[in-house]
Amino acid sequence: MRMPVKYNIVVEQGKIYFAIMGYREGKISLGKAAEIAGLSISEMIDLLAKLGIQSNMEVEDYLEGEKVAQEIIR
How confident is the model over 10-54, as pLDDT tens digits? Answer: 888 999 999 999 999 999 988 899 999 999 988 999 999 999 998
pTM comes to 0.69
Local confidence band at 2 (pLDDT 50, 70, 90 cut-offs): low
Per-residue pLDDT, 27: 93
Read off φ and ψ for residue 18, nearest 5 degrees: -60, -45
Phi, psi of 31 (to 5 degrees): -60, -45
Burial of residue 26 (number of CB atoms within 10 Å: 0-12, 13-18, 19+): exposed
30 within 8 A of 55, measured Cβ to Cβ: yes
Residue with more model confidence, 35 or 9: 35
pLDDT at 3: 59
